[in-house]
Structure 1
Amino acid sequence: MNGIKALTFDVFGTVVDWRSSVAEELRTFFEPRRLSRDWFAFIDDWRELYQPAMEDVRSQRRSFVILDVLHRENLIKLLEKYEIHGLSEDDILELNTCWHRLKPWPDSVDGLLELRKSFTLATLSNGNMALMTNLARHSALPWHMILGAEFAQAYKPDPRTYLCTASALGLEPCQCMMVAAHNKDLRAARELGFKTAYVNRPTEYGPGQTTDLGPEENWDIVCESMVELADFLKQ
């Protein structure tokens, strides 16, 4: 792995556990209001709207908007679907910004702190910069730089997202390693010259997960945790 100067990270699912975090936020918000739903079903539906919303931007059916905007639009649809009414604008803002307060996987922070000693760490996420900054503060994620979709004005797997991140780091793609729990993300990065590290997160989507249950290609590194990734890169 000689020549790697920076690690660029997918965040949702790779570094943080979005599904359990959002379900808990929803339960905590609505329980005092004596409103009960299947909150895991709610977050699964919310996440299912994620890619179609970004595809509207990728296909240029609409101009670039940040993920907070897409999340809010999808949240409004789901509140109607789940027959949740009467929320104020402040309530909707609090719910939408639950994505700013996701919890890291148990190995994430320790692994990132170790990796930070030897490499520049940057986000390469579809999350907007304020979201990523607030998430870093909330969960003590030790990034050197917040980059990705908003910086590039494009959503992964658009090549601009990866290439603008490498450029902002002052590096060639071959000097960067993309770290992700998603084979499609790594595939897009490798096609542009990035090195690749697959971190296995087989419960990202809960017990019924059917995709990204393991590496689908011969990635440069395959590991089970950020700590294992740090140990591998020490060699």
Structure 2
Amino acid sequence: MSMDPKILAFDVFGTVVDWHGSIAAEAKRLSLPVDPNEFAAAWRNGYKPAMAKVRSGTLPWTKIDDLHRMILDDILKTFNITSLSESQIHELNLVWHRLNPWLDTVEGLTKLKSKFTIVTLSNGNLGLLADMAKNAGLPWDLILSAEVFRHYKPDPETYLGVAEIFNVLPEQVMLVAAHKDDLLSANACGLQTAFIERPLEFGPNFSRQDLHREEFTTYHAKDLMDLAAQLNCK
């Protein structure tokens, strides 16, 4: 096994918080005339294509809050939802600031924080991540975002930027994520990696087929409590 990392950098959406369940619950709360699971999936499905426009230069640098709003405007048309006022749409877009943590998240992060410096490495913007941490009680040592680096993951500038901020080697940083493409990119930059199984990330109707162990992951854990145990956090 590799040396212990010094910095644990966490993907957030899906790894630390339950975006699908939170958004489906918001759709129900607002009595939107849609299948809540389909609505949550459609909103998230617009995420990578929107970021790709920024990464390719088709769009200038654009915060995730603004990309989320662009996607939301599109899916409201797709689902033919016309009952919301502008202020209601604005408030709905901020649901990403209020996502609920997984049940193991806060205790797991607290254990990991006792031994390591824990930071976010999310494509979410700084204001969003700060609001989310406040709402969900996430005990970050530092909130880092693609916004800091003006690059979205999986651009190498994001992963290597964490090492640069803390003045450590890339292999002294470990990316913790529930997404193998993210981990593969971090691994290519020399970071250690930890895969967290999140079988319900995409909702109750989606069966994940990618929860097996991979050679490019340094650790493979059921959840954050399991990772803390593997890293000998008391």
- Aligned partners of 2:162 and 2:173 also within 8 Å: no
Which AA in structure 1 matches 2:77?
A: E
**d(CA) in 2 for partners of 1:150, 1:204:** 24
**d(CA) in 1 for partners of 2:122, 2:210:** 17
1:229 aligns with 2:230: no
How far does residue 89 in structure 1 lie from its aligned partner after superposition?
2.4
Which AA in structure 2 matches 1:150?
A: E
TM-score normalised over the length of structure 1: 0.94
CA 208–86 in structure 1, closer or farther in 2 if over 3 Å, else same:
closer
1:97 aligns with 2:94: yes
**d(CA) in 1 for partners of 2:13, 2:122:** 8
Q: Deviation per CA, 1:128-147: give whole Å up to 9, x if none.
A: 11111000001001101111
**d(CA) in 1 for partners of 2:210, 2:57:** 28
TM-score normalised over the length of structure 2: 0.94
**d(CA) in 1 for partners of 2:212, 2:87:** 40
1:18 is aligned to: 19
1:70 is aligned to: 67
Tell me which of 156, 160, 180 is aligned to 1:159. Answer: 156
Which AA in structure 2 matches 1:221?
A: Y
How far does residue 36 in structure 1 lie from its aligned partner after superposition?
2.7
Which AA in structure 1 matches 2:3?
A: N
Which AA in structure 2 matches 1:232?
A: Q
Which AA in structure 2 matches 1:222?
A: H
1:60 is aligned to: 57
- Aligned partners of 2:97 and 2:128 also within 8 Å: yes
**d(CA) in 2 for partners of 1:208, 1:92:** 27
Contiguous gaps of at least 5 residues in structure 2: none
2:135 is aligned to: 138
Moved more, 6-15 or 166-175: 166-175
Which AA in structure 1 matches 2:215?
A: E
**d(CA) in 2 for partners of 1:182, 1:215:** 12
- Number of residue pairs the alignment of both structures matches: 231
